[in-house]
A and B are shown apart, each in its own frame.
Chain A
Amino acid sequence: MEKIPILRMGSFLLVTIQVDLYDRLALTLETDLINMVHKTGARGVLIDISAVSIVDSFMGRILGNIASMTRVLDAETVVVGMQPAVAITLIELGLSLSGVYTALDVERGMSLLQTKLGPNDELVDDDADDTE
């Protein structure tokens, strides 16, 4: 069965989605990723969706779920590289993914995670994300 690789980079996990996510694949990814966060004790998850051009409400919900689940396990999720068309579709579907952090590319996502969790990770404030 097809699987999406999860790479470990220090205290972060990197997932690059290169194929169109059909429902079962997305569910497998969710399970794998949460297990991986639990096993490695990762503090941050980066999901790169720059190659995804088609999105539906299910995938939007999965992304939101992953973010909430990792938060329970004390890790932050950043979705990076969303295509404009995908962003517009999600908004039209009414999914603003309010619990998910976003960044333009992997590099910026990484530095966002570092500032969130870096030197003073016990002082991370969820509400302060917009103003930094």
Chain B
Amino acid sequence: MATTITELLKKNKAQLLDSWLQKQLSSESLRDDLMTNDELRAQSEELVNALAEIITEENISQVDSTDYDEVFEILSTISMSRARQGFTPRETGLYIYGLKEAILDLLQQQIPNDSMQLFTESRKLNQLLDNFAVITFETFIKGREEVILRQNDEISDISTPVIQIWDGILALPIIGTLDSSRTQVVMENLLQKIVDTGSSIAILDISGVPAVDSLVAQHLIKTVSATRLMGADCIISGIRPEIAQTVVHLGIDLSNIITKASLASALKHAFGMHKLTVKRADTDKSIR
């Protein structure tokens, strides 16, 4: 009697699902904090049903056949949602390999005597499920990348505040690396704020910029020139000693830009340009 893996799968669907779930529940990679057991069961059942439905003797060896599109879809959904829920790659991988283990167990039970057939069938199964695992991984990584991209967007949205620190004086603390898209956002925000508030001095604080290379410097110079075109002066502050060293080593000319070591000294300079003075109140009288 020739029992094939496809027949076995179709006949023993329920048993397979149970043994797979058993494996998942006893495995150390079970994350019942991220997903309830009922959800897990529903997810696994969907996958087993689809697989048993689709698999035939013809397409089992053609792993990239279009017949499997539905299974791929389910795998992608599972993998994507796992990536978002915060599963590790290992846990997601073990989930699919658990299915392979379960089917292999089933094969061993059902084909007890014919080792040759057992070998052929498991080989087919290996091929198919390894391909599934690869797809799961690919989508998992894609899901993670989407998360990273979204976070990037959010960071660049929130990380360019333009603050009015005095009448006619704006400050713009830059946190993180300046790339071209971010420079664009920074520039637009700053110029718009200059128009809105009628400020004539902008302080660009770069103490939060980890490194300044020639590209970042070029972006800074661009921002300063655009501010100047609007009719406002721009001061760059928060230049750390390392940054001063790099700038000189790279031969970047910042000599026609006002640069200050700290935000405080930039503010002082700005006060000077506005002909403002800050002085201590007369303590003798006011405190007593």
Chains A and B belong together in one complex: yes
Distance from A66 Cβ to chain B, minimum over Cβ atoms (Å): 15
Interface residue stretch chosen among A6-14, A34-42, A86-94: A86-94
Complex: how many Å from CA A109 to CA B232? 11
Interface residue stretch chosen among B35-43, B121-129, B153-161, B223-231: B223-231
Q: A82-B231, A105-B231 are in contact. List 11 more A-B contacts (CB 8 A).
A: A84-B192, A84-B226, A88-B184, A91-B187, A96-B225, A102-B228, A102-B231, A104-B198, A108-B200, A108-B231, A131-B273
Partner of A104, one of B231, B256, B273: B231
Instruction: Given A104-B200, A130-B256, verify A84-B222 contact (CB < 8 Å).
Output: no
Distance from B232 Cβ to chain A, minimum over Cβ atoms (Å): 6
User: Counting CB contacts under 8 A, is A80 at the interface?
Assistant: yes
Complex: how many Å from CA A81 to CA B195? 9
5 A-B interface contacts by CB (under 8 A)? A82-B229, A88-B187, A88-B191, A90-B226, A91-B222
> In the complex, what residues of B have CB within 8 A of residue A81's CB?
231
- Give the residue among A79, A82, A90, A103 with the most B Cβ atoms within 10 A: A82
Partner of B231, one of A90, A109, A132: A109
User: Counting CB contacts under 8 A, is A117 at the interface?
Assistant: no
User: Counting CB contacts under 8 A, is A97 at the interface?
Assistant: yes
User: Counting CB contacts under 8 A, is B205 at the interface?
Assistant: no
Complex: how many Å from CA A11 to CA B194? 29
Q: How many residues of B contact A (CB 8 A)?
A: 22
Q: Which residue of A lies closest to B273 (CB)?
A: A132
Q: Which residue of A lies closest to B275 (CB)?
A: A132
Complex interface residues of chain A between 47 and 91 (CB less than 8 A to chain B): 79-84, 86-88, 90-91
Q: Across the interface, do B233 and A130 meet the contact criterion of CB distance under 8 Å?
A: yes
> Interface 1/0s, chain B 199-223, versus A by CB < 8 A?
0100000000000000000000010
User: Counting CB contacts under 8 A, is B258 at the interface?
Assistant: yes
Complex: how many Å from CA A27 to CA B263? 44
Instruction: Given A104-B194, A105-B198, verify A91-B231 contact (CB < 8 Å).
Output: no
Q: Which residue of B lies closest to A90 (CB)?
A: B229
Give 10 closest A-B pairs by Cβ, nearest first. Answer: A84-B191, A103-B231, A102-B231, A96-B225, A87-B229, A104-B231, A87-B226, A91-B226, A91-B222, A87-B230
> In the complex, what residues of A have CB within 8 A of residue B227's CB?
87
Distance from B261 Cβ to chain A, minimum over Cβ atoms (Å): 17
> In the complex, what residues of B have CB within 8 A of residue A105's CB?
198, 231
> In the complex, what residues of B have CB within 8 A of residue A83's CB?
195
Distance from A87 Cβ to chain B, minimum over Cβ atoms (Å): 4
Complex: how many Å from CA A104 to CA B170? 14
User: Counting CB contacts under 8 A, is B188 at the interface?
Assistant: yes
Instruction: Given A82-B230, A84-B195, A108-B200, verify A91-B225 contact (CB < 8 Å).
Output: yes
> In the complex, what residues of A have CB within 8 A of residue B187's CB?
88, 91
> In the complex, what residues of B have CB within 8 A of residue A90's CB?
226, 229
Q: Across the interface, do A104 and B230 meet the contact criterion of CB distance under 8 Å?
A: yes
Complex: how many Å from CA A105 to CA B195? 9
> Interface 1/0s, chain A 96-130, versus B by CB < 8 A?
11000011110011000000000000000000001
Complex: how many Å from CA A108 to CA B233? 13
Instruction: Given A88-B188, A91-B225, A108-B200, verify A102-B230 contact (CB < 8 Å).
Output: yes
Distance from B49 Cβ to chain A, minimum over Cβ atoms (Å): 56
Complex: how many Å from CA A79 to CA B231? 8
> In the complex, what residues of A have CB within 8 A of residue B258's CB?
130-131
> In the complex, what residues of A have CB within 8 A of residue B200's CB?
104, 108
Q: Which residue of A lies closest to B221 (CB)?
A: A96
- Give the residue among A90, A130, A132 with the most B Cβ atoms within 10 A: A130
Q: Which residue of A lies closest to B196 (CB)?
A: A84
> In the complex, what residues of A have CB within 8 A of residue B273's CB?
131-132
Complex: how many Å from CA A131 to CA B235? 11
